[in-house]
Amino acid sequence: MDLKVVIIEDNPRYRDGLETLLKHATGFVLVASFGSATVALDEVEKRLRWGQAIDWDIVLTDLELPHTNGIEATRRLKQLLPDLSVVLLTVFEDPTAILEAITAGADGYLLKKSSANEILSQLRMISEGGSPLTAGVARTVLNLLRSQQPFVPSLEKNISPTRLNLTEREQEVLQCLVRGLGYKQIADHLGISMDTVRTHIRAVYKKLQVHSIAEAVARAIREKLV
């Protein structure tokens, strides 16, 4: 099944390039393209008010946007459409921006200097349950998280996987997510079905109180859950 992609990019030349790439790429359908997040969000809210279906799979958005930036757009899109995948595409490798995007619910963070094939390959990971991060971004995130003191919410002191009620299998699935494996790879590694992987990941999300793979990985590393 083709992935239905929406672009949010204020640079007309770069937006045109992305549109051309997606229109000619196998397995993708470009369903909408916006020059600002404000217009995209207005479109979503309008269609929801009118009871219209929104069949978007992925929103590929720039970080630096006028009025509403990519991080705020991610947060609001996730509130309106929880099952929507949102991927930031930007020139910035700033660790703070990356972590803010993940915290906002971003499912991936890619750099504009990535090749066309790399962008398409990373986006295809989403259909397999992956969380696309280019290699450089992934290293930046992991190094930063591992260098920080574990984050401990005030109401959850001395957190451990046991106290979060993660089962042994859920911990194994979480370890696979931290390693960057997609759903199919996890299924093959653990010898279970894709549906079972999805069930375990939903349970992990609920217990960790997160909404994306990126958030789950960030919390697992911060709090040394794996």
Residue 222 burial by CB count (10 A; 0-12/13-18/19+): exposed, middle or buried? middle
Q: How far apart are CA 55 and CA 85, in angstroms?
A: 12
Half-sphere exposure of 100 (CA within 13 A, CB side): 12
Domains of the chain and any CATH numbers = 3-145 (3.40.50.2300), 153-222 (1.10.10.10)
Please tell me what DSSP assigns to residue 114. Answer: S
- pTM across the whole model: 0.69
Tens place of pLDDT for every residue, the chain, 226 residues?
A: 899 999 999 999 999 999 999 999 999 999 999 999 999 999 999 999 999 999 999 999 999 999 999 999 999 999 999 889 999 998 877 777 877 887 788 888 888 988 998 899 888 877 666 666 665 666 666 666 656 544 444 334 444 555 578 999 999 998 888 776 777 888 899 999 988 998 999 899 889 888 777 678 778 877 778 7
Beta strands across the sheet bearing 28-34: 28-34, 3-8, 58-61, 85-90, 108-111
Contact in structure between 63 and 158 (CB atoms under 8 Å): no
